[in-house]
Homo-oligomer: A and B are copies of this chain.
Amino acid sequence: MAREKIPAAPSVRRLPGYLNIIRALKEDGERYISSSFIAEGLNMEPVQVRKDLAITGIFGKPQKGYPVESLIAAIEHFLGWDTLRNAVLIGVGNLGSALLGHREFAMSGLNISAAFDTDQQKIGTVVHGIKIMDGRTMEREILRLGIKIAILTVPSSQALDAADILVRSGIEGIWNFTGIKLAVPDHVTVQKEDLSSGFAMLCIRMNNKHGGA
Binding site for B on A (CB under 8 A): 1, 3-6, 9-10, 12-17, 20, 41, 43, 45, 79-81, 85, 93-95, 97-99, 101-102, 104-105, 107-108, 110, 148-149, 172-173, 175, 179, 181, 187, 189, 191-211
Contacts and interface: CB of A to CB of B under 8 A. Distances in A.
B208 A108 contact: no
Contact of A45 (B3, B14, B20, B81): B3
B181 A209 contact: no
A108 B191 contact: no
Given A5-B208, A79-B204, A94-B95, 16 more contacts: A6-B201, A12-B200, A16-B200, A17-B194, A20-B179, A79-B203, A93-B98, A94-B98, A94-B101, A102-B195, A172-B210, A173-B205, A175-B198, A175-B202, A187-B210, A189-B209
A69 B110 CA distance: 42
A198 B191 contact: yes
A5 B212 CA distance: 13
27 contacts: A4-B209, A6-B201, A6-B204, A6-B205, A10-B10, A12-B197, A12-B204, A13-B200, A15-B200, A16-B197, A16-B199, A20-B179, A41-B181, A79-B204, A80-B204, A80-B207, A85-B203, A94-B95, A94-B97, A94-B101, A99-B195, A102-B195, A105-B195, A107-B196, A172-B209, A175-B199, A191-B201
Copy tally for this chain in the complex stands at: 2
Interface of chain A, main secondary structure: helix
A71 B104 CA distance: 39
Contacts of A199: 16, 105, 108, 110, 175, 191
